[in-house]
Structure 1
Amino acid sequence: MNIGIIREGKNPPDRRVPFCPDQLKSLNERLGDQLTFVIESSPHRSYSDQEYVEAGIEVSDDISDSDVFFGVKEVPVSELIADKTYFFFSHTIKKQRYNKALLRAILDKNIRLIDYEVLKDDNGNRVVAFGRWAGIVGAYNAFWTYGKKTALYDIKRASECKDLTELKSELKNVQLPPIKIVVTGSGRVGNGVKEILEALNIPEVETHEFLHLYFEEPIFTVLKSADYNRRKADGGYDREEFYSSPEKYESHFLKFAEAGEMLIAAAYWDPEAPRLFKIEDINSPDFSLSVIADVTCDIGGSIPTTLRASNILDPVYDVERERGIEIPAFGSQTSISVMAIDNLPCELPRESSRAFGQMLEQWVIPALMEENSPILERATVARDGDLTLEFMYLKDFVDSEG
């Protein structure tokens, strides 16, 4: 099997890689008679072409003969090669409108799409993800944004830090007033967020304390779904019902928006689930959030102020409270500053790539050697010009106009 590592085609280019040079060298030594790897030349990767060459991996401008392609972010439609197998984050499975053309092209070109986001073990747990790194960088960026907004301190951009050690060292420059910070999510991403909050020595408090007590130091609370979702019928909550029938629930998040000044959103969101708040809610004098770091970056998703994704070069935009429209970053003292970078781990590309490659080595490479691997079958969104059974719910979305 010939495996090609594609050049990232999105603009600005993503600097992450699916595999580091030494990881491919190790795989070659173990599986060289079964798998061969070739790297599509790129000037943008955090690992240079030369580093792959020195590891004994072929680098070429043309890798079209490969059977299977590994990338990171969405592949531009013009670069898709028909009748091949692709691994990448497609951002289509939640019916993301901005990638409808991509999914149509995948079907038209008879491509087998295996989406990293749905690679899961037998218990339904994701096995390949950048989540921890998204949480780390997203939380760091929340405090970079707060420093810029308030002019209380100045720290480097995450992308200017050599590694995680330097990033955490930079946090010693953060000087916070006694603000209250809301965190949603307790999975990989949420744990990455907590890693930064703990590096800042910010205490965690229970939700009741967060809402009702005064503190003389900055504090944070981590919300579970039960803390801000309730059944429409009677105000109750049942975890199993919420995840199977989220449309039966409504949000009661506003009390946290009234108590907190910063929101770091790191919770997975089901498109059928309620949004945390409505865009018109931000115009209330009681709505106190002034910095929102949407690590999940679901456009039109759980956070209505996430009007669009931002990027590493231009990480923040503001949302005017009165009209709910975008204005320049830090353009008004009363507006909400939104950080919604959609490729956060790219700010620490070498370390996040290494961790990602280890997961691919553990889960995906063995599955590729297995006929009809259950892990790969479950994560196959499209094949033979059609959606697979599990993803047939996307058919109306693909066929719809607009």
Structure 2
Amino acid sequence: MSELHLWLRHEARTTERRTPVVPADARRLIENGVRLTVEESPQRVFPLEEYEAAGCRTAPAGSWVTAPPDAVILGLKELPDEPPVLAHRHISFGHAYKQQPGAAALLRRFAAGGGALLDLEYLVDEHGRRLAAFGFWAGYLGAALAVLQHRGRLRAPLRPTTKEELDATLEPVADDPAFTALVIGALGRSGRGASAAFDTAGVAQTRWDLAETRDLDRPALLGHDVMVNCVLALTPVPPFLRESDLDDPARRLRTLCDVTCDVGSPLNVLPVYDRTTDWTDPARRLRKEPPLDLIAIDNLPSLLPRESSTDFSAALLPQLLDFGTAGPWGRCLDRFHQACRELGIAEGEFRHD
């Protein structure tokens, strides 16, 4: 394989502070023969100077559109709407394989330009286990925000912080009433993170996973004060909450956090809301009486940008050092082709040199 040229792009979303590669791991990539260009970014938690000190080349924000054709563009969240064609291979979370809004348009941009999406959500080993994920921190923050909302201490707008500062806000005070929490998907990365946050906050919790959701006990679900969903369904399953459940007079549930944020997908297990919340308005009231508040922020780990980036980068590093068309990256490419075939996009429209 020729020298790998990675191009770390600036994130277009103003609240995205994370990075898939931290400066210490950038240095290791360069020491192993990878060429790494890093775009300027006023919001990335690690300053550009740290990448320069690691030996990276730098470029203006957004200049990936004119990067050399063999450069692999590395990012996290959504791409800007321009250019209309995408000629490079992109490593990022595309959210484009489950009929999400805008998914077809994104894949057709790759088709028009001859590029490819190597979706980090589908970077998996031979058993289908994800090799790099932000899940633990997404779950931790989802549960933490749910606790703060339920205790009346969630303040907007949200701002990036550190784990130490966040944990200090989770400590219960003398007049905090006790409440119960439910974590669904408790055995996964996100579920473990949510459980850890509830432990920090001193909140009693019930932990459900596949066994408990296979034959869902809805009265038991609605009998908890707080619920955090950490399940990302890959095949159709009955929804965990329905509109009729929200109007159940026996509902005790008051705070709902959807870590997965699969809104718009036919596989969404919480089809009771139609739009996510954000840092400016983190909680939205779904029902007035009895009250039910929703938290559904799709970049939760960016609230702990340094910790979450460091963990993700450590997991991604060995995969980047072994970048190629086989193994996990080959599976990413296969999944991309499958999604394009489902849209009727011909294989011959793509190049992957």
Seen in structure 2, the aligned counterparts of structure 1 residues 341 and 16 have a Cα distance that, compared at 3 Å, is same
Letter in 2 for 1:3: L
Contact 1:140 1:158 in 2 (8 A): no
Query: Corresponding residue for 2:312?
Result: 356
Contact 1:127 1:359 in 2 (8 A): yes
CA offset at residue 155 of structure 1?
Answer: 6.0
Query: Corresponding residue for 2:331?
Result: 378
Distance 1:87 1:276 in 2: 32
- Describe the superposition over 1:26-59 as per-residue Cα deviations: whole angstroms up to 9, x where unpaired: 2212x23xx2111111112111223322333222
Distance 2:281 2:334 in 1: 32
Query: Corresponding residue for 1:274?
Result: 238
Matched, 1:313 2:280: yes
Count of residues in Structure 1 that have an aligned counterpart in Structure 2 = 333
RMSD: 2.4
Query: Corresponding residue for 1:262?
Result: 226
Query: Corresponding residue for 1:334?
Result: 290
TM-score, structure 1 as length reference:
0.76
Seen in structure 2, the aligned counterparts of structure 1 residues 93 and 348 have a Cα distance that, compared at 3 Å, is same
Contact 1:144 1:157 in 2 (8 A): no
Seen in structure 2, the aligned counterparts of structure 1 residues 80 and 87 have a Cα distance that, compared at 3 Å, is farther
Determine which structure has more spread, i.e. the larger CA radius of gyration: 1
Which runs of structure 2 are paired with 1:9-48 in the superposition (5 Å)? Answer: 9-10=12-13, 12-29=14-31, 31-32=32-33, 35-48=34-47
CA offset at residue 288 of structure 1?
Answer: 1.9
Matched, 1:395 2:350: no
Which runs of structure 2 are paired with 1:247-258 in the superposition (5 Å)? Answer: 252-258=216-222
Please state whether the residue corresponding to 2:312 is helix, strand or coil.
Answer: helix
Matched, 1:347 2:303: yes
Contact 2:183 2:230 in 1 (8 A): yes
Letter in 1 for 2:192: N
Seen in structure 2, the aligned counterparts of structure 1 residues 155 and 13 have a Cα distance that, compared at 3 Å, is closer
Query: Corresponding residue for 1:366?
Result: 321
TM-score, structure 2 as length reference:
0.86
Distance 2:289 2:151 in 1: 13
Seen in structure 2, the aligned counterparts of structure 1 residues 394 and 279 have a Cα distance that, compared at 3 Å, is farther
Letter in 2 for 1:380: L
Which blocks of at least 5 consecutive residues in structure 2 are unaligned?
Answer: 347-353
**Structure ranking higher on relative contact order (CA contacts 8 Å, 6+ apart):** 2
Which runs of structure 2 are paired with 1:188-199 in the superposition (5 Å)? Answer: 188-199=189-200
CA offset at residue 159 of structure 1?
Answer: 5.3
Query: Corresponding residue for 1:7?
Result: 10
Contact 1:121 1:127 in 2 (8 A): yes
Distance 1:295 1:263 in 2: 10
Moved more, 272-281 or 167-176: 167-176
Seen in structure 2, the aligned counterparts of structure 1 residues 47 and 94 have a Cα distance that, compared at 3 Å, is same
Contact 1:306 1:340 in 2 (8 A): no
CA offset at residue 86 of structure 1?
Answer: 0.4
Seen in structure 2, the aligned counterparts of structure 1 residues 97 and 200 have a Cα distance that, compared at 3 Å, is same
Query: Corresponding residue for 1:327?
Result: none
Which blocks of at least 5 consecutive residues in structure 1 are unaligned?
Answer: 149-153, 203-218, 231-251, 321-331
Seen in structure 2, the aligned counterparts of structure 1 residues 333 and 51 have a Cα distance that, compared at 3 Å, is farther
Matched, 1:299 2:263: yes
Identity of aligned residues (%): 26
CA offset at residue 179 of structure 1?
Answer: 1.9
Distance 1:95 1:51 in 2: 39
Letter in 2 for 1:346: S
CA offset at residue 170 of structure 1?
Answer: 2.2
Seen in structure 2, the aligned counterparts of structure 1 residues 380 and 15 have a Cα distance that, compared at 3 Å, is same
Letter in 2 for 1:198: D
Query: Corresponding residue for 1:50?
Result: 49
CA offset at residue 166 of structure 1?
Answer: 2.2
